[in-house]
C-alpha cells in the first residue's frame, strides 16, 4: 500500500458503516420487531396558512431494515475501495462524496414528508452527478449531464406535486387524498419516481452512468440511487391505491422496462453494462410488482436484490481491476483459472440473480411470480413479465460465458495479479448476504408471504420460467449458426440499442434540452427579460435621475419654463373639468 494514511480514510468509514448496520439490525429486529409498533418523531418549525412546516422521522420495519442494508453495502464498498482506489490522489474527497451519498439516502428513507424528502432526493441527484463525472473525461461528463438532467425532471415533478398539495395543508406521504388534484398529484409522483429508477422512457441514463468508478456503480445501482424511486412509490402507496389508473400505468411501464432491459442485456458485450441492464430489468420487475398491488413483496425483492447485485458489481470490479482495467467481454475469458475467488463469487451472485432455489433471489422472485398469478393482471401483461423474468438466466449465463468460462483473447499473464485482503473481505461479507439474505429476511418478514396459494399449474410455470433461459440459449445458438443472415443482425442492433432509448430519451434530454436552454439564455435571460427587466428598469431610473438633476440645477430659465408648463396644465385641466 503506497500511502497508509490516505487509505485509512475508507477503512474507518467502512468500520463506522458496519457498526451502524449492526446496530440498526439489532434495533430493528429486536426492538421494533418485538413490540410490533411503528414510531414517528416530529419537529414542528412553524405554522403558516394553516399548514405545519415540520420535520417528521418515521421508524418502522421498512425504514430500519432498508437503512441497515444501505449501511452494510456502503461499508463493503468502502472496504473494497481501499484496494481498488489505491492509486487515487484525492481519496478523502472520494470518501466524502460516498458518505454524502449514504447520508442523502438515509434522509430519503426516514423522512415521510414530501416537502422534506427533497433534501435527500436532491442530495442524491447532486452527489451522483459528482460521482459520475469523477474521472473528469469527456465520456464521464456526457454521462453525468444525462444523469443530472433526467433526475431534474423528477425534481421538477415533485416540486409541482408539493405545490398542488398546498390545497390539503399536509405534505406527509401515506395519508389519503381526495379532491380534483388527487390523480394529477399521484401521476406526477409516479413519473418522478420513474425518472430516478430509469423506467421507460427515462432509461438511457442508467447504462451511461457506468462511466463512474466501479465502487460507485456498486453503491448507486444496488441499494441507493436507482432504488430511491421504487422506495418513494412504496411509501406513497397508500395514496396511490386510491387512483387505480396510476397503478395500471406503473405496471405497464414496469413490464416494458423489464422486457426491454432483459433483451438488451442479451446482446451487450461490456461487462459493467450487462450488469447495469440487469439492474434495470430488476427495477422494472419491482415497479410491476407495486403496480399490481404487492408493495411489501417489492420491498422484499428490493432488499435481496441489493445484496447480490452489489456482490455482482464488486466481483466485476475485482476482475476489471486485476485485468488492467479491461471490461470488454470479447477479450475477457478463462478467469476461473486466473482469479478463482472473484470468479466463484461472480458465479454465486449470477446464480442468485437467476432465482436459483434456496439463494436470496429465489425467495423474493418466486413470491413475485406467485403474486402476479394471484393478482389482477391482464394475460398479455403476465406474458411480458414471464418473458422478462425468464431472460434473467440468459444474461446471467452471458456474464459467466464472456468473463469466466469463455476463451481468453487478452494479453499475457503479466497484466494479471491476485485479489487483496480488503477485496476478499468485502466480497465475502456480501457473499454471506447473497446466500443467507433471503432466508433471514423471510424469517423477519413473515407477514409478507402470508398464505398466498397458487395452483399446480402456476408452480409449474414458475419453475419453467426460472430455467427457460437454458432452452432459449440453445435455440438461439442453433438458429444463429443455421441462418446467420441480416435479420438477426438487424434484430440484435434493435435490441442492443435498448429499443432506441438513447435516441428518444438520451438525445432529447442532453441535446434538445441543452440547446433549448441555451436559446432561452440568449433570447430571454440576455434578451427580452433583460430589456424589460433589470436593464430596462436601470435605464429608466437613470434617465429619471438625470431629469431630476437637470430640474434642480438652480438655473432661472429652467424654473420659469417649469412654472409656465405647470400653469398651462392647470388651465387646460380646469377648462376640461369645469
pLDDT digits (tens, 9 = 90+) for 478-494: 554 444 454 556 666 66
Give the closest residue to 301 by CA, choosing from 405, 411, 107, 437. Answer: 437
Per-residue confidence band for 471, with pLDDT thresholds at 50, 70 and 90: low
Query: pLDDT digit string (tens) for 337-379?
Result: 777 787 788 888 888 887 777 777 777 777 777 777 766 566 7
Q: What is the pLDDT of residue 449?
A: 44
pLDDT greater than 60 at residue 283: yes
Q: Which three cell numbers stand for residue 473?
A: 440459449
Per-residue confidence band for 501, with pLDDT thresholds at 50, 70 and 90: low
**Are 312 and 359 within 8 A, CB to CB?**
no
Cα separation, 438 vs 362, in Å, equals 8
Report the half-sphere exposure of 50 (CA within 13 A, side-chain side).
Answer: 5
Per-residue confidence band for 451, with pLDDT thresholds at 50, 70 and 90: very low
pLDDT greater than 50 at residue 26: yes
Q: What is the pLDDT of residue 482?
A: 46
Q: How many CB atoms sit inside 10 A of residue 562's CB?
A: 11
Which runs of consecutive H residues, i.e. helices, occur in 166-200? Answer: 182-196
Cα separation, 431 vs 429, in Å, equals 5
Give the closest residue to 131 by CA, choosing from 41, 243, 43, 211. Answer: 211
Answer yes or no: pTM beyond 0.85.
Answer: no
Mean pLDDT (the chain) is 75
Q: How many CB atoms sit inside 10 A of residue 394's CB?
A: 20
Q: Which of 48-57, 146-155, 484-493, 541-550 has the highest mean pLDDT?
A: 146-155
Q: What is the pLDDT of residue 256?
A: 86
Higher pLDDT, 197 or 380: 197
Q: What is the pLDDT of residue 306?
A: 85
Q: What's the rounded mean pLDDT across residues 296-323?
A: 82
Cα separation, 76 vs 422, in Å, equals 9
Q: What is the pLDDT of residue 496?
A: 65
Give me the residue spans of the domains in the chain. 1-235, 243-483, 533-578
Cα separation, 101 vs 426, in Å, equals 19
Query: pLDDT digit string (tens) for 149-181?
Result: 888 888 888 888 888 777 666 666 655 555 567
**Are 211 and 132 within 8 A, CB to CB?**
yes
**Are 264 and 497 within 8 A, CB to CB?**
yes
Higher pLDDT, 103 or 222: 103
Q: Which three cell numbers stand for residue 193?
A: 419516481
Name residues whose C-beta falls within 8 Å of residue 279's C-beta, 6 or more positions apart in sequence.
206, 221, 222, 226, 309
- Consecutive H or E run containing 42: strand 39-48
Per-residue confidence band for 1, with pLDDT thresholds at 50, 70 and 90: very low
Per-residue confidence band for 416, with pLDDT thresholds at 50, 70 and 90: low
Cα separation, 67 vs 37, in Å, equals 18
Per-residue confidence band for 448, with pLDDT thresholds at 50, 70 and 90: very low
Q: How many CB atoms sit inside 10 A of residue 354's CB?
A: 23
Dihedral over Cα of 417, 422, 426, 431: its sign: positive
The residue written with cell numbers 437613470 in the block is: 542
- The full length of the chain comes to 578
Q: What is the pLDDT of residue 502?
A: 64
Higher pLDDT, 85 or 577: 85
The residue written with cell numbers 430640474 in the block is: 551
The CA-based angle 103-108-112, given to 5 degrees, is 140
Cα separation, 135 vs 133, in Å, equals 6
Least confident of 92-101, 106-115, 315-324, 436-445: 436-445
Per-residue confidence band for 408, with pLDDT thresholds at 50, 70 and 90: low
Report the half-sphere exposure of 86 (CA within 13 A, side-chain side).
Answer: 14
Q: What's the rounded mean pLDDT across residues 120-139?
A: 84
Q: What is the pLDDT of residue 211?
A: 76
Q: What is the pLDDT of residue 444?
A: 60
Q: What is the pLDDT of residue 425?
A: 80
Q: What is the pLDDT of residue 427?
A: 79
The residue written with cell numbers 429619471 in the block is: 544
- Torsion, Cα 466 468 473 474, to 10 degrees, reads 140
Q: What is the pLDDT of residue 50?
A: 63
Cα separation, 198 vs 480, in Å, equals 31
Q: What's the rounded mean pLDDT across residues 298-303?
A: 84
Cα separation, 212 vs 316, in Å, equals 14
pLDDT greater than 80 at residue 253: yes
Per-residue confidence band for 562, with pLDDT thresholds at 50, 70 and 90: confident
CA dist 428 → 32, 151, 170, 345, 423 (Å): 29, 33, 45, 8, 8
Q: Work out the percent of the chain whose per-residue pLDDT is above 90.
A: 0
Q: What is the pLDDT of residue 3?
A: 58
Amino acid at each position: 500500500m503506497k500511502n497508509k494514511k490516505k487509505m485509512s480514510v475508507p477503512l474507518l468509514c467502512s468500520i463506522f458503516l458496519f457498526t451502524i448496520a449492526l446496530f440498526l439490525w439489532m434495533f430493528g429486529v429486536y426492538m421494533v420487531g418485538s413490540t410490533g409498533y411503528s414510531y414517528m418523531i416530529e419537529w414542528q418549525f412553524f405554522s403558516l396558512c394553516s399548514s405545519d412546516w415540520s420535520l417528521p422521522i418515521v421508524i418502522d420495519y421498512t425504514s430500519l431494515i432498508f437503512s441497515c442494508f444501505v449501511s452494510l453495502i456502503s461499508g463493503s464498498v468502502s472496504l473494497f475501495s481501499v484496494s481498488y482506489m489505491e492509486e487515487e490522489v484525492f481519496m478523502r474527497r472520494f470518501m466524502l462524496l460516498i458518505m454524502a451519498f449514504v447520508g442523502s439516502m438515509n434522509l430519503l428513507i426516514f423522512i415521510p414528508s414530501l416537502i422534506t424528502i427533497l433534501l435527500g432526493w436532491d442530495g442524491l441527484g447532486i452527489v451522483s452527478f459528482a460521482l459520475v463525472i469523477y474521472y473528469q473525461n469527456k465520456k464521464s461528463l456526457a454521462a453525468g449531464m444525462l444523469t443530472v438532467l433526467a433526475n431534474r425532471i423528477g425534481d421538477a415533478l415533485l416540486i409541482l406535486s408539493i405545490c398542488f398539495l398546498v390545497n390539503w395543508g399536509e405534505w406527509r406521504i401515506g395519508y389519503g387524498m381526495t379532491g380534483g388534484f388527487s390523480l394529477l398529484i399521484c401521476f406526477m409522483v409516479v413519473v418522478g419516481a420513474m425518472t430516478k429508477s430509469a423506467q421507460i422512457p427515462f432509461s438511457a441514463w442508467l447504462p451511461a452512468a457506468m462511466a463512474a468508478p466501479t465502487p460507485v456503480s456498486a453503491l448507486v445501482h444496488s441499494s441507493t440511487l436507482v432504488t430511491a424511486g421504487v422506495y418513494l412509490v412504496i411509501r406513497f402507496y397508500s395514496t396511490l391505491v386510491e387512483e387505480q389508473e396510476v397503478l395500471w400505468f406503473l405496471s405497464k411501464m414496469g413490464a416494458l422496462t423489464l422486457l426491454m432491459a432483459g433483451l438488451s442485456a442479451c446482446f451487450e458485450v461490456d461487462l459493467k453494462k450487462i450488469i447495469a441492464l440487469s439492474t434495470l430489468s430488476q427495477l422494472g420487475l419491482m415497479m410491476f410488482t407495486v403496480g399490481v398491488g404487492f408493495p411489501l413483496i417489492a420491498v422484499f425483492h428490493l432488499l435481496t436484490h441489493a445484496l447480490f447485485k452489489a456482490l455482482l458489481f464488486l466481483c466485476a470490479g475485482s476482475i476489471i481491476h486485476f485485468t488492467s482495467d479491461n471490461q470488454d467481454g470479447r477479450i475477457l475469458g478463462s478467469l476461473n483459472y486466473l482469479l478463482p475467488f472473484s470468479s466463484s463469487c461472480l458465479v454465486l451472485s449470477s446464480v442468485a440473480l437467476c432465482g436459483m432455489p434456496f439463494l436470496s433471489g429465489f425467495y423474493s422472485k418466486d413470491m413475485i411470480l406467485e403474486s402476479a398469478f394471484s393478482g389482477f393482471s391482464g394475460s398479455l401483461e403476465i406474458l411480458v413479465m414471464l418473458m422478462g423474468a425468464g431472460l434473467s438466466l440468459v444474461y446471467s449465463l452471458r456474464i459467466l460465458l464472456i468473463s469466466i468460462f469463455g476463451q481468453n483473447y487478452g494479453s499475457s499473464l503479466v497484466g494479471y495479479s491476485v485479489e487483496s485482503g480488503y477485496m476478499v473481505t468485502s466480497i465475502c461479507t456480501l457473499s454471506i448476504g447473497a446466500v443467507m439474505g433471503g432466508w433471514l429476511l423471510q424469517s423477519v418478514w413473515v407477514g409478507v408471504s402470508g398464505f398466498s396459494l397458487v395452483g399446480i399449474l402456476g408452480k409449474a410455470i414458475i419453475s419453467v420460467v426460472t430455467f427457460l433461459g437454458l432452452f432459449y440459449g440453445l435455440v438461439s445458438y442453433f438458429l444463429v449458426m443455421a441462418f446467420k443472415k441480416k435479420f438477426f443482425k438487424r434484430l440484435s442492433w434493435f435490441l442492443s440499442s435498448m429499443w432506441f432509448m438513447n435516441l428518444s430519451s438520451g438525445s432529447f434530454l442532453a441535446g434538445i434540452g441543452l440547446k433549448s436552454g441555451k436559446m432561452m439564455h440568449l433570447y430571454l435571460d440576455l434578451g427580452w427579460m433583460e430589456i424589460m427587466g433589470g436593464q430596462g428598469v436601470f435605464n429608466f431610473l437613470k434617465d429619471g435621475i438625470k431629469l431630476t438633476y437637470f430640474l434642480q440645477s438652480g438655473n432661472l430659465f429652467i424654473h420659469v419654463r417649469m412654472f409656465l408648463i405647470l400653469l398651462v396644465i392647470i388651465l387646460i385641466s380646469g377648462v376640461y373639468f369645469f
